Structure formats: C-alpha cells, structure tokens
Structure 1
Amino acid sequence: MAQLKGKRFLALSVESAGSSFGVPWWLNVVNTHAELSILDCGDSPTTARQALDLGVGGVICRVNAAQLRTLQSYDRYRGRLLTLRPPSSRSDNLREDPHDSL
C-alpha cells in the first residue's frame, strides 16, 4: 500500500473481517490509509460505528432497516455505509441479497 501512495486504490477487507478480527486489526493492516479502505463489519453496527469513528473510509454492515436509519442519522456516517459488497469485488464474491450465501 505504501508503494501505491498517490495512486488511486481502495483496500477492501474480506467478508465480516471487522467482526472476526476487529477494527484495531484492520487499522494495523491499512496503516495510515484507513480513509482509503472499506471494512466489512458483517452484521455488527457497533463494529461499523467504531470503524467509522476511527477513520475507516467506509464500512459494509448488514443490518436491518431501523439500524441502518439510525446509523445514517449521523451526518459523519452518511455516504460511508454500505449494506452489500461493492461491485468492484470479484463476481464470485458479490451478494445480490444480504441473506445470500457465498
């Protein structure tokens, strides 16, 4: 990642990495480039909030509609919350529906 400094890139964690390994682990992985990363937090809104508060650029969080509305009510989180993996992922790593299995 240090070699990519100044070039466009985005670090995307594996599915549910935030819930499995924690936000401190991800911050260690991306080092000073947290704002250029997306951490998949599984179904944990708590992990998603922690990641966003600590400077991770975006999070993937599979939550229900009420939880999503609550998270989006914070201005600093708006536009940084995803409920599905982004389309830049490999096609065999995408979900059409949050309840689909990989």
Structure 2
Amino acid sequence: MIDKHDHSMHAVPCITVACMHDLKLVMAMAASLRVNCTVVSPPGAGCVMGAPWWMALVADCPLPALLDCGQAAGYAACALRMGVSGVIAHVSSVAQHRALVSLTQMTGGHVMEQRPASLDLPPRDAAPVLERYLRTFPAG
C-alpha cells in the first residue's frame, strides 16, 4: 500500500520490487508512460536477502534503485562497498550515520535515513494499480 504520507509532494514515485517479474513490469510501465520512478527493495531486504541479490536483480535496470537495510548500518556499508548505488539505513547512532555518509563520498553512492513512501504491488493484477499510481505523477 501507499504510505499515509501525501505522495504528490515527492518528485519521483517509488515502487517496492522483490522479484524480476515486478521489476520488469515497473520498467516497462515507467518507459511507456515516460515517468521517472525509483525502485525500492522490501523493508529490511538488505539484511535478509543481501546486496548480491539486489545487485543481480537491478543489474539491467535503468531506474534508480534503493536497497533497504533497515537499522543495520553494517549491511548498508557492505552494500555500498559492493557497488550498490543507494541504500536506506535508519541508524540511531550519529557516528554510524557519519560513517555511512563518508563511505558514500568514496563509493559515489548515497544513503537515505528514512524509507520513502512506496507503492507495494499487489500479488495479482498489478499493472492497472501501477499505472494508476504512476499517472498521478507528471511525465518526465
């Protein structure tokens, strides 16, 4: 489901993807509607599935991609070192956050402190739901 936050204030829509089928749907729909969007892993996927899984999933994806590492700064750091371009890490320690930001300066990646509002695709008939969601954003 869409987060309770007003998604119209976000410049770029975010869609949660956990498999190649969903990723291909998002890429095709975004291209056909000419809408920029970002793909986001499920919450905590960086800890459960790992950076290699995410890198393999999004290897041919032209869209920005964020790996959610939950509260695990270590998983986020490992993902950045492996070449993941964007991670989400909700860390409570200022030192951990500074270390991640410093690491992004070396790797060229970026870190977000909070997970953005993101559309969770339904297990069936996701295309019309995705299309309605993406049509609420201006074409790029």
**TM-score normalised by length of structure 2:** 0.52
Query: What is the rounded CA distance, in whole Å, between the counterparts of 2:62 and 2:101 in structure 1?
Result: 20
Q: What residue identity is the alignment partner of 1:86?
A: P
Structure 2 unaligned segments of length 5 or more: list them.
1-22, 120-140
What is the alpha-carbon distance in structure 2 between the residues aligned to residue 67 and residue 35 of structure 1? 28
Q: Distance in 1 between matches of 2:97 and 2:62?
A: 22
- Residue in 2 that maps onto 1:14: 42
Q: Alpha carbon RMSD of aligned pairs, Å?
A: 2.7
Seq. identity, %: 34
CA gap of 1:48–1:2, structure 2 versus 1, over 3 A, is: same
Which of 1 and 2 has greater Rg?
A: 2
2:89 equivalent among 39, 43, 61: 61
For 2:102, give the aligned amino acid.
Answer: S
Deviation at 1:79, TM superposition (A): 6.9
> With structure 1 as the length reference, what TM-score do the two structures score?
0.68
**C-alpha separation between the residues in 1 aligned to 2:84 and 2:62?**
5
- Structure 1: distance between partners of 2:62 and 2:78: 13
